Amino acid sequence: MSTSVDKSVPRARLSADQARAKILDAAALAFTRAGYDTVGVREIAQCAGVDPAMIPRLFGSKEALFRLIADRAFSLEPAFEGPLDKLGARVARHLLGPVVATDTASFDEFAFLLGSVGSPTAAPILSEALHRDFIQPLAKRLKGRDTAARAALLTSYVMGFAVLRAGLGSPAIESADSRFLVAQLGAAIQKCIDG
């Protein structure tokens, strides 16, 4: 049995920009599905249809590739825009919207975060990106004291609720009256906003 690579099917020659885009897309999906520690460079290269040597040549390392994806993953969603006096209820209603099943063929920021948060390499990268691109912009919108801490606390409410509802499918959340949930969650979020 031969272990050599089958060269009978020629690969299309890609430009560096094309290879880079294919690798970024493949890596984003792989990290979303399996997390940083589980995914290898060879797997990413295979999904992208490129030689594994292209990844260190174009990105330097798997960690650098992960950082690029994390740097594009987080931003304030439209639910966080608008007047601050009604932001709590608006975000709570957004969180109670339809749960959209994660399509394994598309990038999902939340699954990307959860899949790698336990990695000693990936967690600091995720924390840096989340704080820079979500928590700090939210803190800039808030008035008064301790805006960074309040924005981080608000983010923890949002993420915790999302894990419990969408990630774990909490029957307590699903069976509760949505008006009650909006009132309670909205009040907790609004308290972070108001200080």
pLDDT tens-digit readout, 89-101: 999 999 988 766 5
The model scores a pTM over 0.85: no
| Residue range of the domain that includes 131 | 78-194
In a domain, 1, yes or no: no
Same structural domain for residues 44 and 110? no
In a domain, 4, yes or no: no
Q: In the chain, which stretches have pLDDT less than 50?
A: 1-10
**Distance, CA of 143 to CA of 139 (rounded, Å):** 8
End-to-end CA distance of the chain: 69
What pLDDT score does 101 carry? 58
Three-class SS state of 119 = coil
Same structural domain for residues 47 and 90? no
Q: What confidence tens digit (pLDDT) does each residue in 134-144 have?
A: 999 999 999 99
Helices 16-34 and 41-48, axial angle in degrees (round to 10): 120
In a domain, 108, yes or no: yes
What pLDDT score does 185 carry? 95
In a domain, 8, yes or no: no
Split into its structural domains, the chain has a count of 2
What pLDDT score does 126 carry? 96
**Distance, CA of 169 to CA of 64 (rounded, Å):** 34
Number of H helices, E strands in the chain: 11, 0
